[in-house]
């Protein structure tokens, strides 16, 4: 795999009550050569912020819980202001793999695209349950109908954005709907994008933290409702 300029890459993690996993997640990113790791502690009630700081991350804190969307916006804006050329969003629960970050950043570095989106369903086997896969595929159809974006995976938090693309995004959704809003902005701002295959590892822990099919269904419904009411 071609080597990337890792000093230009900032990894942003939204975290809420993740003291059990966040240290290992940060360590895996640092071990893969990415020295700029930003953790946004979203009003956690546990020691997430302290564990993240001890692990070597730059920690930003929300006084109250605002949601994953708000946390990622805080982190991405901070990264760009701090000099990031590429911003990678990465989950706090250990389901993403740091060694796959170059798959997302290299197309941007080569000037092919401004945004690179990870997919669980593109050329890779996935341990996604059939009912969750059905909901995600339904989401892909709705994204195509609403925004004209053809994707295989519309709610994958493993993505990379060029700094200029981050600055174009006009994000308002504070919670899980932010994933759909990012895609809407990619379409509206005419940001060039592509999908790449990535590995997502589901565990009992990540499922308990909100990766269940009911969460996917709620996101899908909120996306439809917001589009109709707009």
Distance CA 164, CA 189 (A): 11
- Count of structural domains, the chain: 1
Token pair in block for residue 27: 């360590």
Residue 108's CATH number: 3.90.550.10
pLDDT in tens, 38-91: 999 999 999 999 999 999 999 999 999 999 999 999 999 999 999 999 999 999
**Of 113, 94, 109, 114, nearest in space to 199 by CA:** 94
Instruction: Please check whether residue 228 lies inside any domain of the structure.
Output: no
Instruction: Please check whether residue 121 lies inside any domain of the structure.
Output: yes
Give Cβ neighbours of residue 125 (< 8 Å, ≥ 6 apart).
none
Instruction: Please check whether residue 20 lies inside any domain of the structure.
Output: yes
pLDDT at residue 174 is higher than 60 = yes
Instruction: Please check whether residue 222 lies inside any domain of the structure.
Output: no
Least confident of 16-25, 64-73, 148-157, 198-207: 198-207
Q: Output the pLDDT for position 151.
A: 84
pLDDT in tens, 95-112: 999 999 999 999 999 999
**Domain range enclosing 73:** 6-126+155-203
Instruction: Please check whether residue 225 lies inside any domain of the structure.
Output: no
**Of 117, 154, 122, nearest in space to 138 by CA:** 154
Instruction: Please check whether residue 142 lies inside any domain of the structure.
Output: no
Instruction: Please check whether residue 198 lies inside any domain of the structure.
Output: yes
pTM for this structure? 0.85
């Amino acid at each position: 795999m071609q080597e990337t300029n890792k000093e230009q890459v900032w990894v942003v993690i939204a975290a809420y009550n993740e003291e059990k996993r966040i240290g290992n997640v940060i360590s895996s990113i640092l071990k893969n050569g990415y020295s700029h790791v930003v953790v946004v502690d979203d009003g956690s009630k546990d020691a997430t912020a302290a564990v993240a700081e001890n692990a070597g991350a730059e920690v930003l804190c929300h006084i109250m819980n605002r949601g994953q969307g708000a946390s990622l916006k805080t982190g991405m804006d901070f990264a760009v202001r701090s000099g990031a050329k590429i911003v990678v969003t990465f989950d706090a629960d250990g389901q993403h793999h740091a060694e796959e970050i170059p798959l997302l950043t290299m197309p941007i570095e080569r000037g092919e695209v401004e945004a690179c989106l990870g997919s669980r369903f593109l050329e890779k086997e996935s341990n996604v349950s059939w009912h969750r896969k059905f909901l995600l595929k339904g989401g892909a159809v709705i994204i195509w109908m609403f925004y004209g974006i053809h994707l295989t995976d519309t709610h994958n938090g493993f993505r990379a954005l060029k700094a200029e693309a981050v600055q174009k995004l006009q994000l308002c959704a504070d919670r899980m709907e932010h994933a759909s809003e990012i895609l809407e902005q990619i379409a509206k701002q005419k940001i060039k994008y592509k999908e790449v295959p990535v590995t997502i590892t589901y565990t009992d822990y990540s499922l308990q933290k909100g990766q269940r099919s009911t969460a996917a269904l709620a996101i899908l419904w909120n996306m439809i409702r917001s589009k109709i009411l707009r």
